């Protein structure tokens, strides 16, 4: 993959207002929601109110707001490709880089670089927010599993973002791809978790397998371990991106 | 040097060979064969729906031909390294992302083919968009969008220009501007292939015409030959050619 394609894709991301705003929402949601949510949890814990889950884990629950911020990251993955389909820009992109695999790989790497950098910043900022807002109940770097969660969660977020990119490349339409991705993460996956029979399978869904990297102590996933979970997500992402590459290469632009 | 080839012994810059595109049972482009030569403006004329845009997309490797091929100096477009430096194309000028400025639109495009940054400023000057360079393209009129599209086509300082209906929606001043630009480009020994459904425009812009109807080649001749045929005007010749539906059977 020539680096010129990658650099052009980075420029595209940086110079489009909608992608910049979408990306800014990732830390804003995660930290903003964190300030409110973690403060109220601390107050509840201090007063012994029974509203906090009994298996409260500072490290895992101190990053829970990232799971809302991730929606903006999913949207970013979708917009990166569907924005080109919708506007017709894809034809210009492909006339500049006619090798579609080269084009797509450049786009994936640019998307991954941005998502990974932003995810690390967001996860650390949210962790520090939890540390500060939860006070005595908050996580610290020496908490059990803290290092693994801090290093691994951004990998999960990036993986899910790229999964969305792959799915969106196959579906092509922004509204359709966003609906599919968000309803999957917000509705299908949580509901499947409640249905006996489906529940066992749901452990291997991309989002649930991926989030096992965030779970420590009593909340640890009994079926899929943290790193195994990341590998499962990686497999999903690889499949989605391969399907996206195949679709892009086969179809008329 | 590419600009020193004399036009009379012009190379075939674009070779279209039995190019065919079918969508299901519909044949949009039917075994089209013609060549585009250096140093002149070749008009690609046909009524709406004749298959001009489909042909343009196949030339650029965007649509895959059902049969046949289109070659630039013997190579398919997809095999040209850094193609913008060889072929500049304008398909749909409004196909930009509305939230990006004109300058940034050209900047990312330049990066794809390692075109130096200063070329962005140069082409903005050529098309007269410098004062609007930092406006988001959402605010652009059709005329400004066409100018930006031309700027994108000129970005790599190409030897070949490929333009699909570039004067559509332009005011008389814009039409004249494009005409002058294309004539100048060809006079420099470069190659222009421009589609239009306006024969009046082609009469004053093109040296050579490729006329198609319903995806088929109807005529491929110098402009003078069209008008010389009896006393009919180019317009009459165009209607005679394109209304000959009988040839379809």
**What would the pLDDT profile of B171-225 be if each residue is shown by its tens digit?**
899 999 999 999 999 999 999 999 998 888 898 999 999 999 999 999 999 988 8
Per DSSP bridges, beta strands B208-213 and B41-45 are parallel
Mean pLDDT of chain A, nearest integer: 95
How large is the average pLDDT for residues B64-84?
96
Position B1 pLDDT exceeds 50: no
In three state form, how does the secondary structure of B119-164 look?
HHHHHHHHCCCHHHCCCEHHHCCHHHHHHHHHHHHHCCCCCEEEEE
- Contact residues on chain B for A7, CB-CB shorter than 8 A: 111
Query: What percent of chain A shows pLDDT beyond 90?
Result: 89
How large is the average pLDDT for residues B51-64?
96
If we measure between CA atoms, which residue out of B129, B134, B136 comes closest to residue B100? B136
How large is the average pLDDT for residues A109-133?
98
How large is the average pLDDT for residues A23-49?
96
Number of domains in chain A: 1
Position B150 pLDDT exceeds 90: yes
Tokens at B223, concatenated: 């402009």
* A185 DSSP assignment: I
Interface of A with B in 1-20 (CB under 8 A): 4-5, 7-9, 11-12, 15-18
Rg of the Cα atoms in chain B: 18
A32 touches chain B (CB under 8 A): no
Q: Are B40 and B186 in contact (CB under 8 A)?
A: yes
Higher pLDDT, B170 or A16: A16
Higher pLDDT, B234 or A64: A64
Residue B249 confidence (pLDDT): 32
Poorest-confidence range of A85-94, A165-174, B8-17, B186-195?
Answer: B8-17
Residue A172 confidence (pLDDT): 95
Position B227 pLDDT exceeds 80: no
Query: What percent of chain A shows pLDDT beyond 70?
Result: 100
Position B22 pLDDT exceeds 70: yes
| Alpha-carbon span B120 to B172, nearest angstrom | 26
Rg of the Cα atoms in chain A: 19
Show me where the domains of chain B are located: 11-86+176-244, 87-157
Which CATH code for domain B11-86+176-244?
Answer: 3.40.50.300
Position B248 pLDDT exceeds 60: no
- Contact residues on chain B for A174, CB-CB shorter than 8 A: none
Calculate how close chain B gets to A247, using CA atoms only, in Å: 13
Per-residue pLDDT band for B5 (boundaries 50, 70, 90) equals: very low
Burial of residue B202 (number of CB atoms within 10 Å: 0-12, 13-18, 19+): buried
Position B109 pLDDT exceeds 60: yes
Closest chain B residue to A103, measured at CA: B112
Across the interface, of A4, A89, A252, the residue whose CB is closest to B96 is A89
CA angle A76, A77, A80 (to 5 degrees): 80
Calculate how close chain B gets to A11, using CA atoms only, in Å: 6
Residue A103 confidence (pLDDT): 97
Position A102 pLDDT exceeds 80: yes
Position B4 pLDDT exceeds 80: no
- Contact residues on chain A for B83, CB-CB shorter than 8 A: 95-96, 98
Calculate how close chain B gets to A3, using CA atoms only, in Å: 9
Residue A192 confidence (pLDDT): 92
Coil, strand or helix at B40: coil
Per-residue pLDDT band for B81 (boundaries 50, 70, 90) equals: very high
Position A15 pLDDT exceeds 70: yes
Per-residue pLDDT band for B246 (boundaries 50, 70, 90) equals: very low
* A216 DSSP assignment: -
A99 touches chain B (CB under 8 A): yes
Angle formed by the axes of helices B172-187 and B142-154, nearest 10°: 10
Residue B242 confidence (pLDDT): 79
Coil, strand or helix at B202: helix
Position A240 pLDDT exceeds 90: yes
How large is the average pLDDT for residues A221-239?
95
Residue A155 confidence (pLDDT): 98
Residue B3 confidence (pLDDT): 46
Residue with tokens 């317009």: B235
Residue B224 confidence (pLDDT): 84
Query: What percent of chain B shows pLDDT beyond 70?
Result: 92
Burial of residue A170 (number of CB atoms within 10 Å: 0-12, 13-18, 19+): middle
């Amino acid at each position: 993959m020539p680096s010129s394609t990658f650099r052009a894709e980075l420029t595209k991301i940086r110079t489009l207002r909608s992608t910049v705003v979408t990306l800014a929402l990732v830390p804003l949601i995660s930290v903003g929601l964190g300030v409110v949510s973690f403060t109220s949890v601390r107050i509840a814990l201090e007063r012994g109110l029974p509203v906090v889950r009994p298996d409260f884990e500072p490290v895992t629950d101190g990053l829970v707001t990232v799971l809302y911020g991730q929606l903006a990251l999913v949207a970013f993955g979708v917009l990166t490709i569907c924005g080109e389909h919708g506007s017709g820009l894809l034809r210009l992109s492909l006339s500049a880089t006619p090798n579609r695999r080269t084009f797509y790989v450049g786009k994936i790497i640019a998307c991954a670089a941005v998502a990974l950098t932003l995810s690390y910043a967001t996860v650390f900022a949210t962790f520090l927010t939890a540390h500060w807002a939860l006070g005595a109940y908050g996580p610290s770097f020496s908490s059990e599993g803290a290092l693994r969660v801090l290093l691994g969660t951004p990998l999960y977020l990036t993986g899910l973002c790229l999964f969305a990119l792959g799915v969106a490349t196959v579906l092509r339409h922004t509204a359709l791809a966003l609906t599919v991705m968000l309803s999957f993460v917000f509705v299908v996956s949580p509901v499947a978790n409640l249905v006996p029979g489906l529940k066992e399978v749901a452990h291997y869904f991309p989002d649930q397998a991926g989030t096992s990297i965030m779970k420590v102590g009593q909340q640890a996933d009994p079926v899929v371990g943290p790193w195994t979970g990341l590998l499962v997500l990686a497999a999903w992402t690889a499949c989605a991106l391969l399907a996206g590459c195949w679709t892009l290469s086969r179809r008329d632009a | 040097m590419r600009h020193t080839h004399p036009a009379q012994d012009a190379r075939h810059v674009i070779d279209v060979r039995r190019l065919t595109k079918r969508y299901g049972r519909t044949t949009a482009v039917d075994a089209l064969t013609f060549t585009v030569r250096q140093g002149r403006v070749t008009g690609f004329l046909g009524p709406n729906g004749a298959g001009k845009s489909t042909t343009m997309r196949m030339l650029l490797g965007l649509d895959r031909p059902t049969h046949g091929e289109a070659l630039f100096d013997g190579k398919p477009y997809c095999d040209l390294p850094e193609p913008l430096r060889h072929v500049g194309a304008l398909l749909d000028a409004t196909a930009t992302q509305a939230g990006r400025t004109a300058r940034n639109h050209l900047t990312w495009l330049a990066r794809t083919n390692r075109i130096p940054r200063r070329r962005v400023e140069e082409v903005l000057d050529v098309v007269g968009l410098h004062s609007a360079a930092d406006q988001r393209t959402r605010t652009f009129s059709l005329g400004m969008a066409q100018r930006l599209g031309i700027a994108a086509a000129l970005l790599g300082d190409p030897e070949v220009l490929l333009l699909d209906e570039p004067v559509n929606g332009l005011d008389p001043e814009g039409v004249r501007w494009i005409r002058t630009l294309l004539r100048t480009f060809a006079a420099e020994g470069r190659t222009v292939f421009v589609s239009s459904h306006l024969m009046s425009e082609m009469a004053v812009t093109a040296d050579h015409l490729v006329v198609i109807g319903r995806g088929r080649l109807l005529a491929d001749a110098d402009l003078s030959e069209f008008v010389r045929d009896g006393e009919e005007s180019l317009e009459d010749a165009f209607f005679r050619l394109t209304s000959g539906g009988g040839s379809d059977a």
